[in-house]
Amino acid sequence: GAKSLGRNNFQIYAPSADLSQQQHVALKAKLRHAERNGELRVFYQPQVDTLTEDIVGMEALVRWEHPELGTISPAFFIPLAEASGLIVSIGEWVMRTACAQAHVWEKMFGLHLRLGVNLSAVQLMQPNLVATVANALTDTGLDPSCLELEVTESISVKTVPHLVESLDALHAMGCRIAIDDFGTGAASLDYLRRLPADRIKIDQSFVRNIGVDPDDEAIVRATIDMAHRLKRGVVAEGVEIEQHLNFLRANGCDELQGYLFCRPLPTAAFEKLLAERQRLLTEGLSPVGSA
Ligand code: C2E
Ligand code: MG
Ligand code: MG
Ligand code: MG
């Protein structure tokens, strides 16, 4: 099942504090060639329906396979890419690669999987963002309703002046909008009121404290309740243990994402997971637990 497949995925975390200024500059220069050299990969992490645990979508997560340093986490190199502007071309590459892949899987398995793609503030500041997304969809053949653009709550309407207009235009095109890392920024409620969000993603810092901190449990419950009252969906990130699952299920969270089900997987491993799911369905077995 996916739990064992997921263990093939190793990643190193290179916190910038461990790097000298010189190494930092060198890495930034290397990142410039990473895309061209084929060192970037898109990994996919399943999102499952809370009740059935069946796969209903996936999030595209970029990785940098550095020839000497190994797999570098996006938490480390995305900020470098943002600072140098490289995020614009990297982001477009991720979007096109993931949309093309999602369309392949849709045809291969007859599944209408939802694809989450992260957008950085720098991408959202590009005047041609809407056209870039539209072209990616047209060129790859993916239906706009399959694409969910994830916008992190730390992006402020002050730094991205046309944020609301851009997201409205993407939403009007048929794309879905998700507010990522919900609850960690200062603008949670304002965001919900102003952005055309179809759903919110509860940040893993709250999910991690289920069973640990009653205050965080109260926040998770209240967030799910609020989202539903506003007719928005909710997905929880960072679901790692059975206790998280039980709590989120009891409180009506719609979908779940986390290591309990599966780690982010390379393309071939994710495809194997979908094939295995289909095999179980064909044999009349429930795919529950396989995801
Ligand atoms: P995010 O969008 O909030 O993505 C979720 C992160 O949580 C991913 O980290 C994922 O691997 C991790 N995760 C999933 N389940 C669990 C779990 O059960 N426990 C724990 N501890 N972590 C879990 P990842 O892949 O390292 O990405 C980190 C961040 O980098 C992302 O956070 C996103 O903000 C950014 N990022 C990743 N790919 C892209 C991209 O293509 N474009 C942009 N702009 N940002 C990206
Ligand atoms: Mg995300
Ligand atoms: Mg997140
Ligand atoms: Mg994040």
- Residue-wise pLDDT for 51-85, tens only, equals 999 999 999 999 999 988 899 999 999 999 998 89
Mean pLDDT (whole number) for 126-134? 96
Q: Are 267 and 42 in contact (CB under 8 A)?
A: yes
Is 74 close to ligand 1, i.e. is its CB under 6 Å away? yes
Is 53 close to ligand 1, i.e. is its CB under 6 Å away? no
Is 12 close to ligand 1, i.e. is its CB under 6 Å away? no
Distance in Å, CA 274 to ligand 3 centroid? 23
- Residue-wise pLDDT for 89-127, tens only, equals 999 999 999 999 999 999 999 999 999 999 999 999 999
Q: Which ligand is nearest to the CA of 202?
A: 3
Mean pLDDT (whole number) for 273-278? 96
Is 264 close to ligand 1, i.e. is its CB under 6 Å away? yes
Is 183 close to ligand 1, i.e. is its CB under 6 Å away? no
Is 259 close to ligand 1, i.e. is its CB under 6 Å away? yes
Residue closest via CA to ligand 1's atom 10 equals: 264
> Looking at ligand 1, which atom is closest to the CA of residue 260?
18
ipTM given for this complex: 0.98
Q: Which ligand is nearest to the CA of 45?
A: 1
Q: Which ligand is nearest to the CA of 182?
A: 3
Look up the pTM and report it: 0.92
Instruction: Tell me which H or E stretch contains 236.
Output: strand 233-236
- The number of helix segments (H) and strand segments (E) in the chain equals 12, 9
Q: What angle separates helix 74-84 from helix 21-34, to the nearest 10 degrees?
A: 80
Backbone conformation region of residue 85, classed left if phi is above 0, alpha if psi is from -120 to 50, else beta:
left
